Amino acid sequence: MNLDAILLSLKLAGIVSVVLLVIALPLAYWLAFTKWRGKFLLESAVALPLVLPPTVIGFYALIAMGPRGPLGKVWQSLFGRSLAFTFAGLVLASLLYSFPFAVQPLVASFESLDRRLLDASAVLGAGRLRTFTRVIVPLSWPGLVTAAVLSFAHTLGEFGVVLMVGGNLPGVTRTASIDIYDRVQALDYNGAHQMALLLLMIAFAVLSIVYGVNRRVWSPWTAR
């Protein structure tokens, strides 16, 4: 078994899901509560990675990160090296790829909140930030867990995007799914089996968490 590839995948997925939560929380708040009529445009943009082939995302990401692409140029001038085929580049592309998996559960859970609780918070003198941290976030924690876990699991399984922007550099961009592909190409079915089974088990465990939380099996304050 290629432990390096597994660890790299876990590291990538972990970083991506944490960064995504930070970006998705304010965006989801805005999407859930804005009265702007054009918000459907932004909703469509957020959902794009769900329907685009990963190779298309990877292709555009690669062009943007290349030495002549906008992202690549900025990165080059900031850090003095190229962005494509690095771990940082992989993180950026994965953020794009898993974006809807973080935003959509949060929007759904914010939208399902009882608006009168938010009204009550406002009338009791709380500003928006306090209402967000004291009422919205604690009551939306199944949505938070779902968002974090789904973006983690989705990033863990990505293949096309990694292949396009990451290449296949051992320890840098060779993730578990790429490693499996390599082994199958090399007719190492045994090794591919071990890796595949491990990914399968991780995926199952992670989805169990999502469904358990949303069925309120472990919810601390909702008696069912």
Partner 1 sequence: MLNVQIRKRLQATDSPAFSLDVTETFAPGFTVLFGPSGAGKSTLLDCIAGLLVPDEGHISLDGEALFDAERGLSVPASQRKTAYVFQSLALFPHLSAEENVAYGLSGVSATERTERITGILSTFHIEGMRKRKPRELSGGEKQRVALARSLVTRPRVLLLDEPLTGLDSGLRQSILQDLREWNAANRIPIVYVTHNREEVDAIGERVVALSDGRVRESGLPRNVLDAPRAAELAQAAGFENLLWARVTEHREKDGVMHVELAGAKCGLEVPLGSVRPGQEVQVAIRAGDILLATEAPRALSARNLLPGIVESLETMGALVVVEVRAGVRFTVHVTSGAARSLQLAPGREVWVVLKTYSCHIVTRQ
Interface with partner 1 (CB under 8 A): 114, 116-117, 119-127, 130, 134-135, 138-139, 220-223
SS (H, E, C) 191-209: HHHHHHHHHHHHHHHHHHH
Find the distance separating the first CA and the last CA of the chain, reported in whole Å: 43
The least distance separating partner 1 from the CB of residue 223, rounded to whole angstroms, comes to 6
Half-sphere exposure of 2 (CA within 13 A, CB side): 26
**Min separation Cβ 121 and partner 1, Å:** 7
- ∠ CA 71-74-75, nearest 5°, is 85
Q: State how far the Cα of 89 lies from the Cα of 189, in Å rounded to an integer.
A: 30
CA–CA gap between residue 140 and residue 134 (Å, rounded): 11
- In angstroms, give the least distance from the CB of 119 to partner 1: 5
Nearer to partner 1, 119 or 197 (CB): 119
- Neighbour count for residue 40 (Cβ, 10 Å): 10
Q: Give min distance, CB of 42 to partner 1, in A.
A: 22
- Residue 224, CB half-sphere, CA atoms under 13 Å: how many? 8
CB of 7 to partner 1, least distance (A): 37
CA 190 from centroid of its chain's CA atoms:
30
> Which CB atom, from 38 or from 220, has the smaller least distance to partner 1?
220
Triad 61, 22, 217: Cα angle to 5°: 115
Do 93 and 16 form a contact (C-beta atoms < 8 A)?
Answer: no
**Residue whose CB is less far from partner 1, 138 or 170:** 138
CB of 109 to partner 1, least distance (A): 14
- Measured from the CB atom, the residue of 190 and 222 that comes closer to partner 1 is 222
Is the Cβ of residue 102 or residue 139 nearer to partner 1 in the bound state?
Answer: 139
Could you identify the residue written with the tokens 């919810």? 219
Residue (22 or 223) nearer to partner 1, CB: 223
CA dist., res. 120 & res. 175, Å (int): 48
